[in-house]
Structure 1
């Protein structure tokens, strides 16, 4: 939650509501099926001003020598861009994929399929469709590692699938076994064996250990970084500081005024982009936070004094300064040089390293590579959606194209406007044509057509099933169009 000065108390309360919505999503938002974009963002939980710089790389990026085929009216088989090798992914992207893959099946393997809401309360459904945990919780959300954060009455607790209170596991890789302890109002450090390695001298713990480094306030009140032995590494003279993730730590600095325009944008974004996708898809928007990033030596990699710095991704982050948008890598070097662009409506594929940008002059959308900054599709499209499963959706006028991102080949073509809900990690997706809903495979072929008017809202497939709203209630349907659970619940979220 973003903390503001007292004079912006009202703004802080509103932002608190927004943060609460992120923790316990507003599942009730209704809308027709829409296309969303996969974006895995690093989360931060705590937070920062100094002289800051980012470097300009020696890489030269040109956007005028694009060698691609433009789909003809037939569309099928056209090759839009060459294969993008995936054996040169940066370490943070490899780490991202490993984390997502290891977490994806945790609940399913333990027999848990979905959250459901009935009579204003939340519970859990099993993979066989039966009630696993009765709906008795005011709020219930997945916290990771098979653990759920629950609110029942006035009590908040972590629970497992049976409703038993548990402790959220802490990764040994993050803490290295080092923990802080308190004695007489000061904090010290114990190692994994419980041996004191640093006497209690710290006034405040700003972050726990992550990647071997923690941030504390020392006996003199200075904010510093320390290693697991308590050795001072460097000063962090920032308003807020967050733990390290893949070699970078976010810091923030306070701003003395509140931008109601940005708040309005955040509210709209939250309402429009909220979906039943387990947190895997998030809007790519600037949230108004004055942030920057430091590396493990304390060197400022991205400057918080730039006009806008977006949240960090596995590839890097967008920055805007003096009206120009650029993408800077995690090493502080430009990948996409500053230009008169706008970020496409949330269109970033953090999995394969692609992003959609809008040209301010023409208004068209194009696609850039986040690995080398090369423009791989021209500014000729009205819509660009990254769908997961190595699939991308393009729209130009009434022409819609489903593209294989590995080969750049158009695998399916529609001579009418369609909307596709992302595949994510599954080989099936919902396609909406007018009021008609179809289930299509990865080649765009129809495998099931729903009776017109029978379906109002759908979610992406997970574990071979999708949450489907019919009338005023939700059920769960498999990829063949068969009901696993007939519509009967107020809300459903596939885990």
Structure 2
């Protein structure tokens, strides 16, 4: 081998050794960023013996991991995409997720890359790849999913994207903003003196609205049209623009309501009519009110009597009724002499006009009342449910829920409230589906005394029911099975289940002893097998600290940790029934990445009253105490200091 060959050989060997060293370093690094274990596809959990992290449920291929009060991210192979370093990682919106640290918000992608470090006061949800980003309380920018601002301007007000445009205010200029950052100015140099303080807007939360009446929002698109305004012969008039800021409805109207089904209600000289998307008059402005039902039905009124006309102005129902509401099959709930009934387009009576209230439910059934309680009737007037129910609501397209009162007590609060306890069951068009009732409890606001029939009617049929409003639910999700008295659906097929105790809980509220239903609870998997035995007095799912001063968010606690109550004390368990936090605390609150722990101790007597002292500390999601419990005054919570402390990672 000659000298040149030797030199080449040495060079190649050096490169080979260097490459091997890089591979070794990479493998070593990879090993340090991988959690050993296996992904359980049935439970969407990563099973590992590594107790360094707490690993949450998987969603869309990733899971949050918790360590020492911080949150990171991993994939289902065990690869740590982001080492725990954030206070919170929000759910992914497409390929990006918001993250927070020390009350600032940033962005990451699915590979764990930090697109933009936490800096913003708030980043709202992404719509079509863009989100409003509040730099501070007064200034807003638009950010894309790559963490880039679409232009250099900060705006006084900006709306969410609508019809491919944002509405903006900047330095008294109003207009539309394209996703590319181009401003389409509609009103330039708005002068409050000229327009008489027509436009009111707020920096945070409120929209850009017309005067103090209930007008629609300016430049907010409906059916591709948005309202604009101008001064015409000394009077303020309104028209519409398209998404390129071109005037497509002339600025001649005193008011324009949002477009719906291709039509908008307009006002001229204190009377109402209807126009199409090009400003063509469909119904002349000759009515006291007009409501668009669909493309060929308009409810009109004169002299406080209502009727229906079509788009040609032909009368379908004469103006003989006190109110009209369209329901399926082109039928109408109408009112005469404060009584309600149902008619068709031929004005034939389908349900006699003799009810104090009617609301269409489903499958030809109506909610009504007898002045004291709620019931359900069908088109023939047959009672599907008798008038002895406190609440009735729709559960899904073919099932409803009805409730009955059991007990209640007033709460001693500034706002009138009381706790309502009842039982509910499901029904369909044939009547009651199950003989068994399911108990529930609910706090009702703006009622300060005991339950009575006046409350039932005045507050409506949706008040005294177990759910807050119409949500499509399966019967299994909403109603306890025959085997259990209590069922709560969790993620990944798990359920909290319970059976009634023979001896109910006793509560002494202002010397009134109440007996409320109490349960022994456990957790079962999708196969009905117990993963947490039925031994706890209470199991609370996804308990979160929902205070805006901490996180401005709700997505906080791991979905696979649970606060449990036993013999009056609280602790935390996981799905293996392993105790994460001992059951010895008076109050436990989940926050993002951390758990607040409170113990009450007796203090000194003051003016004859025994004062409580509070010991408050913080643990991580593995149960390790990271801020020891110390005596603190009420409200002196270490959570606020923890979230604000930018040096805590170095301690």
TM-score band (shorter)?
Answer: 0.3 to 0.5
Taking structure 1 as the reference length, the TM-score comes to 0.47
Taking structure 2 as the reference length, the TM-score comes to 0.37
Question: Counting strand residues as a fraction of each chain, which structure ranks higher?
Answer: 2
Answer with 1 or 2: which has the greater Rg.
2
Of the two structures, which has the highest relative contact order with CA contacts closer than 8 Å and spacing of 6 or more?
1
